[in-house]
Chain A
């Protein structure tokens, strides 16, 4: 038993080390892109427009970036977190993908086996998205009229309800008591402010769910 725990511990240490190294390299790689553009084309952005473009974006996306780490990482586990935050598209792809894989494997999220399954799911998902984007680049002319057709517009506009309806049923049917407070709160907020950004409301919803869960747990209601 001690050996297994030691091995799990060494995996945990190793995945954090590998994750940090890859994430640091990823930051260098993405920074190298605008740098290479500026050097190659000999065009550097002026400070004024750069700050003017960055400030409104950072005011929204710096808190969202930090909140996403705090909210998603306990669900995803270490390996999947490092990889998902490097390859991006978390809420619309990587997190639901990991949830789905855990559900199919019948494994608890946050467990040591859950860590393995969610990492495998996120890695596979990243590879497939990468391949789809490469195909999209190669077949740009053929694909554009198809994907951008007015007929398919309502389908792509409703991709999130189509994803979260099924996921919602799966998780809420199993944890309906946990869902009462956050679902009610979110419906009220979205009725009052229909344009409210979901990214900012995810932590609000998660915190309300945690508070309700804690209260019910203390009172032995769940």
Chain B
């Protein structure tokens, strides 16, 4: 039986989207690199940013891959691949697909959705995520102008404002993790502790690698411990 979800046509669409994202990323990388060189930014710093970002990205990317595999049961591989490659998010794709399936009286739990539901899901997942990019095209330049104005008028407050936003973002996830049960709390604390150890090793032993890879090391270590905690606590 013809599997439209995993057809060559769908994978061709996926390949086009992946190519688009790759080219765009390379253009931005090149533009930023040239500007960095022009500003006299040390090439070593920029190379470290590339390497540390590449290593850090591996683990969260596995979680994105897992979402793709989860959705592949009902939607095939190509559509989740497309949706998670461009203007997509782990937290968005599954609820969007579920809402669309429910609206058609179907479910994602089965082996595969019918073609009409598949088409509906593709439309809902796409149209539902467009507000952020449209807002950026319309207002981001103006918004950035306002932030720059604050920094020009009072640089210290401008810097504090951005730090406060960082801390606000992190605090919301800390609160969520602290209220998420014992395994979640222990994982959070373990991650923080491994980070402390990495910083100490970098500062006391002078091993730069511990600074560059402190975040991925903390993440992977804490995730491994989460398996242990869940086994011990039955969570």
Interface SS of B by simple majority? helix
Instruction: Identify A73's interface contact among B9, B63, B143, B223, CB under 8 A.
Output: B143
Point out the residues of chain A lying under 8 angstroms from B118, CB to CB.
37, 43
Chain A 105-143: CB-based contact to B (< 8 A → 1; otherwise 0): 101111011011101111111111110111011001001
14 more A-B residue pairs beyond the given contacts A24-B137, A33-B17, with a C-beta to C-beta distance below 8 A: A22-B27, A43-B118, A53-B99, A60-B95, A69-B140, A110-B151, A123-B28, A124-B53, A155-B223, A158-B184, A165-B218, A171-B163, A172-B167, A206-B165
Point out the residues of chain B lying under 8 angstroms from A201, CB to CB.
172, 175-176
Nearest CB in chain B to that of A51: its residue: B103
Q: Shortest distance in angstroms between B68's beta carbon and chain A's nearest beta carbon?
A: 6
Across chains A and B, which 6 residue pairs bring their CB atoms closest together, nearest first? A186-B175, A165-B191, A206-B168, A190-B179, A65-B132, A52-B103
Q: Confirm or deny: A27 has a beta carbon within 8 angstroms of a beta carbon on chain B.
A: yes
A16 touching B141 in the complex, CB below 8 Å, given contacts A101-B52, A127-B22, A129-B61? yes
Residues of A71-120 contacting chain B, CB below 8 A: 71-75, 78-79, 81-83, 85-93, 95-97, 99-101, 104-105, 107-110, 112-113, 115-117, 119-120
Nearest CB in chain A to that of B176: its residue: A198
Nearest CB in chain A to that of B221: its residue: A162
Q: Shortest distance in angstroms between B80's beta carbon and chain A's nearest beta carbon?
A: 9
For chain B, the count of residues having a C-beta within 8 Å of the partner chain is: 151
Interface SS of A by simple majority? helix
For chain A, the count of residues having a C-beta within 8 Å of the partner chain is: 158
Distance of A65 Cα from B136 Cα, bound (Å) = 10
Instruction: Identify B177's interface contact among A23, A110, A122, A165, CB under 8 A.
Output: A165
Judge whether A147 and B53 touch: CB under 8 Å: no
Judge whether A69 and B135 touch: CB under 8 Å: yes
A129 touching B64 in the complex, CB below 8 Å, given contacts A33-B13, A97-B56, A190-B176? yes
Distance of A86 Cα from B24 Cα, bound (Å) = 9
Judge whether B132 and A148 touch: CB under 8 Å: no
Point out the residues of chain B lying under 8 angstroms from A210, CB to CB.
161, 164-165, 168
Nearest CB in chain B to that of A20: its residue: B137
Residues of B127-146 contacting chain A, CB below 8 A: 127-137, 139-141, 143-144
Judge whether A194 and B179 touch: CB under 8 Å: yes
Point out the residues of chain A lying under 8 angstroms from B147, CB to CB.
73-74, 110
Instruction: Identify B62's interface contact among A26, A71, A81, A147, CB under 8 A.
Output: A147
Q: Confirm or deny: B195 has a beta carbon within 8 angstroms of a beta carbon on chain A.
A: yes
Point out the residues of chain A lying under 8 angstroms from B24, CB to CB.
22, 26, 83, 86-87, 126
Distance of A54 Cα from B102 Cα, bound (Å) = 11
A49 touching B22 in the complex, CB below 8 Å, given contacts A66-B135, A187-B179, A190-B178? no
Distance of A156 Cα from B183 Cα, bound (Å) = 12
A190 touching B211 in the complex, CB below 8 Å, given contacts A65-B135, A74-B165, A130-B21? no
Distance of A194 Cα from B177 Cα, bound (Å) = 10
Judge whether B227 and A152 touch: CB under 8 Å: yes
Nearest CB in chain B to that of A148: its residue: B69
Q: Shortest distance in angstroms between B139's beta carbon and chain A's nearest beta carbon?
A: 8
Judge whether B192 and A166 touch: CB under 8 Å: yes
Q: List 18 A-B contacts (CB under 8 A).
A: A27-B134, A41-B119, A71-B169, A73-B140, A74-B162, A79-B31, A83-B28, A93-B57, A148-B66, A159-B63, A160-B177, A161-B180, A165-B190, A166-B218, A171-B170, A209-B164, A209-B167, A210-B165
Point out the residues of chain A lying under 8 angstroms from B168, CB to CB.
71, 182, 202-203, 205-210
Point out the residues of chain B lying under 8 angstroms from A108, CB to CB.
159
Distance of A73 Cα from B133 Cα, bound (Å) = 12
Q: Shortest distance in angstroms between B189's beta carbon and chain A's nearest beta carbon?
A: 6
Chain B 145-165: CB-based contact to A (< 8 A → 1; otherwise 0): 001000100001111111111
